[in-house]
Chain A
Amino acid sequence: MDFILETNGLTKSYGHFTALRGLDMHIPKGAIYGLIGKNGAGKTTLIRVLCGLQKPTSGTYSIYGISNKDRKMIEARKRIGAIIESPSLCLDMTAEDNLKEQYKVVGLPNYDGLQELLELFRLTPNHINSPREKNEVSHFSSSSSSLDRKTCFFPPSSKTGSSSKTAKHFSLGMKQRLGLAIALVGNPDILILDEPINGLDPEGIIEIRELILRLNKEKGITFLISSHYLDELSKVATCYGFLNQNRIVKEISSKELQENFKKRTQVTVSNVKECVNYLEENNIPYKVISNEVIDLYQKINVSEFVMALSKRNCMVSDFQEKGESLENYYLNLIGGADND
């Protein structure tokens, strides 16, 4: 498989404390890699090392096959965009000005694509002044501040029609969107997002999720996302890396994960005792959940099952197929690893 980002025995220590312990990670090209782990498992340290904010104590990592010990790594890292902990925004500037500054930092000769970015991330004046965003913004800007007066001092750009709302007055969702837009300046191939949906409202979470999926599909951007929202992560990720005790304990694709999920059928019956007798006789694995509900861990013929139970004066009132969630898988995995 073609890996865009790899780490081999990556270790990071701070004095006697080891934040990463021989970590091996493999991110395939075009994947959305979900990094899952407890607080303090080393997710942010790993991201900081990959972004060049910290040097590894030992071990190596490579981006596009270029090792961190190679001088070409500086060039390779230019293909990375990142949001670490919180979006890097200049709060006194508008969304457009923040993007313009990033264009200058990256060293782009002109502002080509700026308007597209503003449109894509719904940061144009029309979007910012839309009823939903206005409600969020007006809450913060009810009292006219010096910053509002400041933006009046500088006339808005006629070319792109910039909004006078500074990033300070943005909602968390808008800030996150702007952070993503900034990370995308320079067309990076890899985007590293550390807790991108922390503190967002449901609508904000959906927006960020759709943006990630869209960028992955349309631009082929590879994502490395660390998050504690497992349910949300399972909706976008194509691969998972489970981090525990400062190392990756399991790497698995979402397809493999689905196959590994233990399917179960939950039935609600009127007579649990009779149902258990039937299951015992037919060697069907089961687990009694309550005095009405039983989980079956084998595919069964529904009509046969219902008819057999009705002969035993046991009525089936509900029948549901259930799959194990990512959360259960993670808890079983981490629980198992902890017990090792």
Chain B
Amino acid sequence: MIKLLKAGFFRLKKEVLFWVFLFLTIGLACFTLCRNASLPYEVTLDSFFNEYMLYIGLLIAIFVSIFVGKEHSEGILRNKIIVRT
């Protein structure tokens, strides 16, 4: 299992979509923070957090389905089963 995780992280680092989504989420966090800070009224932590989490969840769902789907379609998963890690 550790071997699979190590291989997964290695592939993750090479995945351009991962970096795009990572910078997108950081950007989104900064944008949400700036927007809420500029509001004339106080925003509770809960509403700020929930608003941000909605977008993050959506991005994670898109990324995971593409990342795992690619592993399946390119036969990488089959290779891992043969190696029996």
Contacts and interface: CB of A to CB of B under 8 A. Distances in A.
Contacts of A105: 3-4, 7, 79-80, 83, 85
A74 B84 contact: yes
Contact of A97 (B14, B74, B79): B14
B33 to A, nearest CB: 27
A288 interface: no
B3 A104 contact: yes
B83 to A, nearest CB: 6
Nearest to B13: A154
Interface residues of A, number: 34
B81 interface: yes
B16 A147 contact: yes
Contact of B81 (A53, A85, A92): A53
Nearest to A100: B10
B76 interface: yes
Given A97-B14, A153-B19, A91 B74 contact: yes
Nearest to A107: B3
Interface residues of B, number: 22
Contact of B82 (A51, A104, A150): A51
A272 B58 CA distance: 83
A77 interface: yes
Interface in B55-78: 70, 74-76, 78
A85 B24 CA distance: 38
The 7 residue pairs across chains A and B that have the minimum distance between CB atoms: A88-B79, A150-B16, A104-B7, A88-B75, A107-B3, A105-B7, A104-B6
